Structure 1
Amino acid sequence: MSVFRTVRRGGLAATACLALAATLAGCGLSSDAASGSEDEIVIGVSLPLTGDFSEPGKGVERGYEAWAEYVNENGGLLGKQVRLEILDDQSSADRVASDYEKLINQEEVDLVFGPFSTRLVVPAAQVAQDYGFLFVEPAGAAEEVFTQGFDNLFYAAPAIADDHYNLLAEKILSMPEGQRPRSVAYATMDDPFAQGTAYGLKDKLEAAGIETVADEVYPPNTTDFSSIAAKIADTEADMVVGGTQYQDAVNLIVALQQLDYQPKLAAFSTAPTNPEFPEAIGSKTEGILSPTGYTPDASYPENQEFVEFYTDLHGEPPAEDEANAWTTGEVVAAAVEAVGCADPSQECQQQLIDWLHENTVDTVVGPLSWDAEGRPQSAHLIQQYVDGEIRIVLPEDQAEADFIPVKPEW
């Protein structure tokens, strides 16, 4: 089987095209030839289903699978059924690159979706760019994703990592002097996304004169947080900010609880949005903050359909990882339906890329549009645990509860 590929390595380009395929426009075959079926569109994905990022990776998998099932129940894409080809990259950057090479070259998928985590998105996006594939991704939000020169990449969420806490920074800086934190302790996973969220807030607070009294960075596989917690507790910081995924945030909070450290404000990336989070830290959640690009209570028509369908499948509403995966599917589907193709040819893939650069897509996280590097042009919401429930507190015009300026206890 012959499908046109343009491979760039070290600035050199090599094209491969068999003589038979040379008679076809641009050497591109149709999706029927590429997938081996006239009745399906095959979408390749590599996800961290094991390893450091397996918890959110499985959430993304659930979101992708729910989206595919929904699409297939509603007529498919271009009248064809969607089939997902999902590989486990084991949270490895080397493995994720080889997975996308395999999906494109050996499995000959028609389209690809992105993985979870900036660490995995960058190498995966490079492979997609090398082969000229559209690359929409649900969870690579660090600024470094958008400075690699990718013109095929689009992030399917409202804001990049550095901007996740923008609304919280504005709120803190508007607080009366007596309530505003004067010192902040930061603890971040050595991960571009996690650090991007925490340091985006750090830069804004430091610029306003709020002192950084601790800045701890730890490897992704860290499980013992006793020494980091001790350093933070010794500072008696008014606020603690965690650039976290899931289990690391749980372990850090438990370690801080054991030291009876009580900040006025506490904010953690990702973890508080996980349904298992309250039980994992002993249900002492009151006042904890987190940025989120998604709430199941959003009034967008697309979201209402999503929540109903997903809840019927799983018995509970979707979380942010599932929503961003579903959004990835929505974005790709919008381009496919608008352009009228879903195949691995250079012509089709470039048409999909060009269409997304020029258009806005209605999704479960709201309308999305992108700059030239794939940054979404919107803002994250801020959630806080209020009376035992996580609620949107910022911006005020979308708030489900009032922002708690001083955290009672955890």
Structure 2
Amino acid sequence: MNRQRRQRTLPRLAAGTAIAAGTALALAALTACGSSGSSVSAAQGPITIGMSLPMTGPVADVSKSGYQGYELWADQVNADGGLLGRQLRLDMLDDGFDPNQTAADYTRLISQDHVNLLLGTFSSLLNAPASAIAARQGMLYVEPSGGAATLFTRGFTDLFFAQPGTTTSLPDRFVAWIAGLPASQRPATAAYVTQDDPSASPAVAVFRSRLQALGVKTVYYQVYDPNTSNFDSITSAIAHAQPQMIIQGAVADDGAQFVRSLQKLAYNPKILFQTNAPTDEAYPSAIGGADNANGVFTAQSWSPTAAYPGNAAFVSAYTKKFGAPPTEDAANSYTAGQVLAAAVKAVGSLDQKALATWLHSHTVSTIVGPLKWDKAGDPEGSLLLSQWQQGTLQIVAPSSAATTKTVLLTKPAWGNG
């Protein structure tokens, strides 16, 4: 695998440096280095912020926009004088979506590169080992994604999730909406399918449990391999079971692939909820156009139209800098930067324990709304409930953030928006 590093001391990007493919540092190498990233050098150099992202591999597109969110955040901080009077430099390694490489990368960033601060990577799969490395060395770890509930049951006190909610709270607003429907309008049956992923499958399990408690009967349940690209056998079984509602734990392309398979069978559920996949602005075109997306529900950590402080300015600045609107992943990484900067400014140093202590006792204003965490770094909030309507992903709950008062109770037939 091509191993890459990007170091960015803004406003100029330094040349990338190749790293040997076979480099892997054992965790034991950390024991001698202590909390090396926590001390501030007397020399007035840049503050180096380390991260490892899957810039190659199956989620490279996600990581590209995510890294751009980090870049924009660092650009703006540096233009405003930096942090503690020092400019920021991003030190990024490419892990190729390999958890073992992620662990090796964060080990290197701490023990060899001696970065001052860390920022997280993408997916629970990668953030699990990365946050464990950070915890072992007592370094603050703010992650832009990785909301699997299991990440917050390991006793870590330096981990913070920069989204409003995790997999446990992801179903909250949708289930509340179902519960609020008159009994005659509630779906009677449901099918549940999910990728075997630490973020997707636990969320679907929560959906199933809570909807069953409302009287929604489960008629099909299936977990599929992350490499699945042909869903015909799954959708055939679903069509045979005839559920009124389908809940899918989708991660990326599997969301569109699943829908296209349903379309081949002309099976149209009354209600369709998918995690993650529908938040991509390319989702409608991936399933045949806006008419096919009409009525699909999803949960969002961020929306470009949400009226949170700084959000509109973020959307404008990102679009101007990169020539396209920001993705949810870009917004999440930008938010992680906001959280990190707020702590550093408030504490006035790079002391890792002091930064974590401050975050545990304060609320941070971000573009995804105010964030507050419990003792495990689990955010005390819920995600937005959104629905595709006439080519636009509208926020339908909570009412304080809603961009429309309309909710489509029944998803139109495929191709009939």
TM-score computed with the length of structure 1 as normaliser: 0.90
Letter in 2 for 1:406: T
Q: Note if contact 1:47-1:87 (Cα within 8 Å) is conserved in structure 2.
A: yes
Superposition pairs of residues 12-51 of structure 1, within 5 angstroms? 14=31, 30-32=39-41, 38-51=44-57
Q: Give the secondary structure class of the aligned counterpart of 1:163.
A: coil
**Matching residue of 1:144:** 150
Matches of 1:185 and 1:55, distance apart in 2: 30
Letter in 2 for 1:404: L
After superposition, what is the alpha-carbon deviation per residue over 1:54-106, rounded to whole angstroms, capped at 9, x for unaligned?
A: 33222321211111112122211112111111111111111110010011111
With over 3 angstroms needed to count, the CA separation of the structure-2 counterparts of 1:51 and 1:349, relative to structure 1, is: same
With over 3 angstroms needed to count, the CA separation of the structure-2 counterparts of 1:242 and 1:218, relative to structure 1, is: same
Superposition pairs of residues 8-157 of structure 1, within 5 angstroms? 14=31, 30-32=39-41, 38-157=44-163
With over 3 angstroms needed to count, the CA separation of the structure-2 counterparts of 1:29 and 1:350, relative to structure 1, is: closer
**Matching residue of 2:346:** 338
Shift of 1:31: 3.0
Q: Give the secondary structure class of the aligned counterpart of 1:51.
A: coil
Matches of 1:330 and 1:398, distance apart in 2: 21
Shift of 1:361: 0.7
After superposition, what is the alpha-carbon deviation per residue over 1:120-145, rounded to whole angstroms, capped at 9, x for unaligned?
A: 11110000011110001011101101
Matches of 2:230 and 2:294, distance apart in 1: 24
Shift of 1:299: 1.7
**Matching residue of 2:329:** 321
Superposition pairs of residues 164-203 of structure 1, within 5 angstroms? 164-203=170-209
Shift of 1:262: 0.6
Q: Give the secondary structure class of the aligned counterpart of 1:65.
A: helix
**Matching residue of 2:19:** none
With over 3 angstroms needed to count, the CA separation of the structure-2 counterparts of 1:228 and 1:31, relative to structure 1, is: same
Q: Note if contact 2:51-2:119 (Cα within 8 Å) is conserved in structure 1.
A: yes
Matches of 2:124 and 2:47, distance apart in 1: 27
Matches of 2:298 and 2:119, distance apart in 1: 26
Q: Note if contact 2:36-2:111 (Cα within 8 Å) is conserved in structure 1.
A: no
* Residue 265 (structure 1) aligned with residue 274 (structure 2): no
Matches of 1:204 and 1:46, distance apart in 2: 36
Any stretches of 5+ residues in structure 1 without a counterpart?
A: 1-7, 18-25, 343-347
Q: Give the secondary structure class of the aligned counterpart of 2:208.
A: helix
Q: Note if contact 1:302-1:364 (Cα within 8 Å) is conserved in structure 2.
A: yes
**Matching residue of 2:409:** 405
* Residue 244 (structure 1) aligned with residue 277 (structure 2): no
Matches of 2:343 and 2:410, distance apart in 1: 45
**Pick from 352, 359, 364: which aligns with 1:356?**
359
Matches of 1:389 and 1:29, distance apart in 2: 44
**Pick from 267, 275, 286: which aligns with 2:294?**
286
**Pick from 387, 394, 399: which aligns with 2:397?**
394
Matches of 2:49 and 2:32, distance apart in 1: 23
With over 3 angstroms needed to count, the CA separation of the structure-2 counterparts of 1:28 and 1:81, relative to structure 1, is: closer
Shift of 1:51: 2.4
Shift of 1:29: 7.8
After superposition, what is the alpha-carbon deviation per residue over 1:308-359, rounded to whole angstroms, capped at 9, x for unaligned?
A: 21121123332211111011000000111111123xxxxx111111111111
After superposition, what is the alpha-carbon deviation per residue over 1:250-272, rounded to whole angstroms, capped at 9, x for unaligned?
A: 11111111111110000111111
Aligned residues: 385
Matches of 1:289 and 1:29, distance apart in 2: 43
Q: Note if contact 1:52-1:220 (Cα within 8 Å) is conserved in structure 2.
A: no
Matches of 2:381 and 2:33, distance apart in 1: 40
Q: Give the secondary structure class of the aligned counterpart of 1:396.
A: coil
Letter in 1 for 2:323: G
Letter in 1 for 2:269: P
Q: Note if contact 2:248-2:275 (Cα within 8 Å) is conserved in structure 1.
A: yes
* Residue 216 (structure 1) aligned with residue 222 (structure 2): yes
Matches of 1:380 and 1:408, distance apart in 2: 25
Any stretches of 5+ residues in structure 2 without a counterpart?
A: 1-25
Matches of 1:289 and 1:146, distance apart in 2: 27
Matches of 1:114 and 1:29, distance apart in 2: 16
Matches of 2:238 and 2:379, distance apart in 1: 34
**Matching residue of 2:369:** 366
Q: Note if contact 1:183-1:211 (Cα within 8 Å) is conserved in structure 2.
A: yes
Matches of 1:233 and 1:73, distance apart in 2: 56
Matches of 1:103 and 1:369, distance apart in 2: 28
Matches of 2:143 and 2:117, distance apart in 1: 12
Q: Give the secondary structure class of the aligned counterpart of 2:48.
A: strand
Letter in 2 for 1:274: D
**Matching residue of 2:235:** 229
Shift of 1:393: 0.9
Matches of 2:109 and 2:242, distance apart in 1: 51
With over 3 angstroms needed to count, the CA separation of the structure-2 counterparts of 1:314 and 1:301, relative to structure 1, is: same
Matches of 2:324 and 2:36, distance apart in 1: 47
Shift of 1:38: 2.2
Matches of 2:138 and 2:307, distance apart in 1: 36
After superposition, what is the alpha-carbon deviation per residue over 1:23-58, rounded to whole angstroms, capped at 9, x for unaligned?
A: xxx99984336xxx6231111111122223333222
Q: Give the secondary structure class of the aligned counterpart of 1:296.
A: coil
Matches of 2:77 and 2:304, distance apart in 1: 19
Q: Note if contact 1:190-1:218 (Cα within 8 Å) is conserved in structure 2.
A: yes
